[in-house]
Amino acid sequence: MGVSERRDDMRLCVSELAANAVLHGAPQGRGFAVRLVRQGGLVWIEVRDSGRGRPVVRQPDMDGLGGRGLWLVTALADEFEVRDELVGKSVRAGFKSARG
């Protein structure tokens, strides 16, 4: 399966990662960056912000109103990682590509 067949999964993941950057990552008055990178057989969606702390993937509470975003990302993506940056962090979701 190629990346194009995963388009909807990728859209949901970029939406969730960007929303998390706005709500929890980027300090007020600062932005965030989204980029796509093809690397080693994966297409990575990367969202970088300058906020402190690291996101935590939690088991969602079925009665709760939130807390499902990163759980969904990890369920849909083939790879997931958080990288510390000089300032802030990058949260990445990787999707297998038919091309290497």
CATH of the domain at 22: 3.30.565.10
The residues near 17 (Cβ < 8 Å, ≥ 6 apart) are 34, 45, 47, 69, 73, 91, 93
pLDDT at 95 exceeding the cut of 70: yes
pLDDT of residue 99: 61
Range of the domain at 66: 3-96
Phi-psi region of 88 (alpha: psi -120 to 50; beta: other; left: phi over 0): left
Whole-prediction pTM value?
0.88
Residue 42: predicted pLDDT: 95
Q: How many domains does the chain have?
A: 1
From 14-23, 72-81, 90-99, the region with the lowest mean pLDDT: 90-99
pLDDT confidence of residue 56: 87
For residue 85, pLDDT over 60 is answered with yes
Mean pLDDT of 63-78: 88
